[in-house]
Each structure stands twice: as structure tokens, then as C-alpha cells.
Amino acid sequence: MIAEDIPYFKLPFQCGQVWSVSTYAGHWPNANSLDMFHAGGETQGQPLHAPATGVLEYTGWWSEKSGWTIILDHGGGWKTYYLHLMDASFLPVGSEVKQGQHMGYVGNSGIPDRQYVPHLHYTVMEQDVAVRAVFSGVPAAPHAGDIGATEQIVSRNCGSSWDGDAMAELVTVSPDGTVTVYLNKGDFKFAKSGEVIATGRDQVHFADLDGDGRTELVDRPHADLDGDRRDEPQDGTFADLDGDGRDEPVGEGIYADIDGNGRDELVKVNANGDVEAYWNSGNGEFAQKPDILMNVGTSRVMFA
């Protein structure tokens, strides 16, 4: 049996955190497994977030060498393993775990109990064979073919976007209902030409309905009110202003995570059609001077 296409895995940690990853000869079950250490502070006790949507297959004390362990089944022959945790997951076996959902804490459990240096042992299994890890579409440098490599990776486990990279795309809706997506290129820059994804639309909204990190075109506005990525329909306008994965009710305006750091920027369209983005500096505080993203004329603007 051949596994289906690899899920869009993200680093299993909070948005924006930097983690150092490495491997070694003799790593279980092979050198494609990674050891992960928080590069920006304490490793012990850091929250563990699902890198992709899956079902909790196992949680508990797995063996004396692995300690407290979580196994997620992502379907299609893909599974991820998390070893040496502080404890079993607080979620029951059989739970559906959405991408980005909190499911446990990094620790140092094993033999002798809690004497390992705190770290996360992370393994991706394809049909029960450990394969090279990929995060946000980029293969990890350390793997069985390069056991000497060490890499620092920024977590983009930040939410969803049209192409799955967590940086919101700019969407225009022309007066005739043509919906065009302009890909986010980073550094507050967008592609100069867009892709038409729908025509004749009046009401246009986006939400990540299946938890794969990519937004879908939907009929009603959605909001993630409790950080579980379920995106149930809600009335009104919502935005994650503080980067905690939960959307709060906000006043009128357009909000989108343009830089992929987990905090939504405030966006306005001035009378000339210029799209002004005010960078979110944290706790809902925004830059005084905007970046001009592009001119959209008479088209409506949103993000996906």
C-alpha cells in the first residue's frame, strides 16, 4: 500500500517560536527522526501543537526509553510521533486534533524518569517507516542523509491562508463579482498579477474548514472563537489581535495576518483605492504609519 500525498505539516510549536533541530546515527527508528530544542528560551514545558489535522491514536507512557508519548494518525498512511513529553495528552484517545491545536507539553520523560535533557523527539511515519520531516513545505536539513546537519526553524503554525503558508493573500472582488487572489510574497509584498478563482459572486468569505492550513471559499463568515480551528459560522467581524490562536470580536474593519506571525494586521482602503496595512505590534496595538500594499480602484478587498 502506498501512502497518499504528505499532509501540509507545520512545526509543532507556537507561531513565531524558533527551534533547533538535529539528528544522529542510531536515532529511533532511524535518523530521519528529529530532536528539537527551543532556541529562544526554556524547552521544558513548552506547549505542543498539532502540525496537521489528525486523530489521537495513542497517548500515555509508551516505553521506558520514550516516556510519555503522543501518536497522531493523519490518515492516508501518515502518522507523527512525539516522545519524552511532560505527561500524557489532556485529550482522550480518538479525539480529532486540528492543525495548530494544543495537545500537550514538551518534557524530558524516559529512563531514568525525567533525566533526559528536555527536548521533543519528533518522527514522521509513512506506512510505519520514518521519513524525512517537512515543515511548511520545506524538507528539514537534518535527516538520514545528513546526520551532521543542525537547523533553526521558525514555526509557521500560525493559522491558515489560501496557499497554506499562514501569510494571508489579498483578495479583490470587482463590481461584477470576479474574485481574484494575489499571493502574499512576504515582507508586505503581494504578487503583481492575480488568479481569478470565482465569478459572479456577491457574498464572499473564506475559512479553513478542514484544518489543513488552507482556506476555502465559503458562503458565510466564520470565526475561530476558541482556538480549536473548527471555524463555526458567526455573525460580525473577528480577528486574532494577540496571536493566541483565538479570534476576538472587533469593530468594523478588515483584519488579516499578513506577515504570518499569528497576529492580525489592520487594513483599510482609502478614497483613492490604496490598500493601507497597519502592522500589529502586539496586544492589539498597531503602527501609526501604514504600508501601501496596492491600489484596487473600485474593487472590494478581503484576505484569505
User: What is the number of residues in the chain?
Assistant: 304
- Cβ(68)–Cβ(44) below 8 Å: no
CA distance 299 to 115: 60
User: How many Cβ atoms sit within 10 Å of the Cβ of residue 25?
Assistant: 9
Query: What local confidence, expressed as pLDDT, does residue 246 receive?
Result: 64
Query: What local confidence, expressed as pLDDT, does residue 88 receive?
Result: 96
Query: What local confidence, expressed as pLDDT, does residue 50 receive?
Result: 93
CA nearest neighbour of 104 among 127, 124, 80, 134: 80
Query: What local confidence, expressed as pLDDT, does residue 63 receive?
Result: 92
pLDDT tens track for 244-300: 566 777 776 788 888 877 778 889 899 999 999 998 887 678 889 999 999 999 999
Interior/surface letters 223-235, b for 16+ CB within 10 angstroms, e for the rest: bbeebbbbbeeee
Query: What local confidence, expressed as pLDDT, does residue 1 receive?
Result: 33
pLDDT tens track for 17-50: 899 999 999 999 999 999 999 998 899 999 999 9
pTM: 0.67
- Looking at residue 282, its amino acid is G
CA distance 52 to 100: 7
CA distance 165 to 266: 19
- Cβ(3)–Cβ(77) below 8 Å: yes
Burial group, residue 2, by CB count within 10 angstroms (0-12, 13-18, 19+):
exposed
Query: What local confidence, expressed as pLDDT, does residue 67 receive?
Result: 95
Query: What local confidence, expressed as pLDDT, does residue 136 receive?
Result: 84
Tell me which residues of the chain have a pLDDT lower than 70: 1-4, 113-114, 210-213, 225-232, 242-246, 252, 283
DSSP-based three-state secondary structure for 161: strand
- Cβ(31)–Cβ(147) below 8 Å: yes
Burial group, residue 263, by CB count within 10 angstroms (0-12, 13-18, 19+):
buried
State how far the alpha carbon of 234 is from the alpha carbons of 150, 220, 230, 238, 253, in Å: 44, 8, 12, 9, 16
